[in-house]
């Protein structure tokens, strides 16, 4: 059985199913109860499950994360929402010093089954601190799983998989894709959360992307096809751990790779992917691995954000440079 839903509705359905399946699952965050969150991801859930399981928290990210740590230690599965990506930093210390390390610190005796939902990325015309891409901070931190859904079907299944995980998961949601519709299959066996997927097969070069950039890369591949260039698009889905089997398999086929993400280029996720591909496939690749990313600057005002964000033209320019080698 399948249904066409926006990503926002798919996340809502996934959270509802998780709450129904396990009484130890609870949600917490600013304005997620009666309001349903600023993006309405949790709309209707407090009315259905009550104020003790869908909790309107104080305006204090460090308190939200710290409380969730205690709940996870007591056997609950808290799912906390950070209202906007740029607001995660008051809770950053809790995430990297407590959430990420508790399992190892206790010699494996204390699990940390919690999910930290973060709407991330730009493209919505927002003000400062509302369009960040902080994924590299978390992917760099051992002990955290970092995932990024890109479509409605993945959103529905991956949020449930994240909640079922006994390890802490930073769950990144591309906010400018919340209202993009897609088919959600409620019965088909979902792909493993940490497995990348080939969204479009091609032969000339591979575009490696995640979250909001998947649609942009698919758009670029469609334009390239009209010009006779066949691009493969790989949706990474998980940034930690990365699915190197799928990544390297695609790069071996096309012998060229371009990594695309919104976050600044320097020391970003794309840098790690490029480095490992060069280490492992140096004698296979026919051109250097290129990166198309946000610029190394604070996120700009909304009037010029489209100049900052990677778009189809910048991606195709990188493809041309890769093919020219």
Phi, psi of 206 (to 5 degrees): -110, 130
Of the candidates 103, 109, 129, 130, the residue annotated as catalytic is 130
Q: Are 11 and 156 within 8 A, CB to CB?
A: yes
Q: How many other CB atoms are found less than 10 A from the CB of residue 137?
A: 18
Coil, strand or helix at 110: coil
Q: How many CB atoms within 10 Å of residue 305?
A: 18
Q: Which residues 6+ apart lie within 8 Å of 185 measured at CB? A: 1, 2, 153
Q: 216 near 312, Cβ under 8 Å?
A: yes
Q: How many residues does the chain have?
A: 325
Residue 261 falls in the annotated catalytic set: no
β pairing state of 77-81 and 25-29: parallel
Cα–Cα distance, 193 to 138 (Å, whole number):
17
User: What does 1-38 look like in DSSP terms, one character per residue?
Assistant: -EEEEEHHHHHHHHHHHHHHH-TTEEEEETT-SSS--T
Picking from 114, 99, 102, 119, the residue whose alpha carbon sits closest to that of residue 165 is 114
**Residue positions annotated with a catalytic role:** 130
């Amino acid at each position: 059985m399948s249904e066409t839903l926006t990503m926002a509705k798919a996340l809502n359905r996934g959270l509802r199913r998780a709450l129904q399946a396990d009484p130890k699952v609870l949600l917490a965050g600013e304005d997620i109860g009666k309001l349903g969150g600023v993006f309405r991801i949790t709309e209707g859930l407090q009315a259905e499950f009550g104020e003790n399981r869908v909790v309107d928290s104080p305006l204090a990210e460090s308190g939200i994360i710290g409380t969730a740590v205690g709940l996870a230690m007591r056997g609950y599965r808290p799912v906390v929402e950070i209202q906007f990506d740029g607001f995660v930093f008051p809770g950053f210390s809790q995430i990297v010093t407590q959430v990420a390390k508790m399992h190892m610190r206790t010699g494996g005796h204390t699990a940390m089954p919690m999910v930290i939902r973060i709407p991330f990325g730009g493209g919505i015309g927002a003000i400062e601190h509302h369009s960040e891409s902080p994924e590299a901070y978390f992917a760099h931190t051992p002990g955290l799983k970092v995932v990024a859904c890109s479509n409605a079907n993945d959103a529905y299944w991956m949020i449930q998989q994240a909640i079922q995980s006994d390890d802490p998961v930073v769950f990144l949601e591309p906010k400018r894709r919340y209202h993009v519709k897609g088919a959600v299959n409620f019965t088909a066996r979902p792909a493993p959360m940490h497995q990348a997927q080939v969204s479009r097969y091609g032969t000339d070069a591979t575009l490696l992307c995640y979250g909001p950039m998947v649609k942009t890369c698919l758009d670029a591949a469609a334009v390239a096809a009209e010009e006779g260039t066949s691009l493969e698009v790989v949706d990474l889905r998980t940034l930690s751990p990365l699915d190197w089997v799928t990544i390297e398999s695609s790069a071996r086929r096309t012998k060229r790779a371009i990594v695309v993400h919104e976050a600044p280029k320097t020391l970003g996720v794309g840098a790690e992917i490029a480095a490992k591909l060069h280490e492992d496939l140096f004698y296979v690749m026919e051109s250097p691995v290129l990166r198309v990313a946000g610029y190394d600057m604070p996120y700009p005002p909304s009037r010029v954000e489209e100049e900052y964000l990677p778009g189809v033209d910048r991606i195709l320019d990188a493809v041309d440079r890769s093919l020219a080698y």
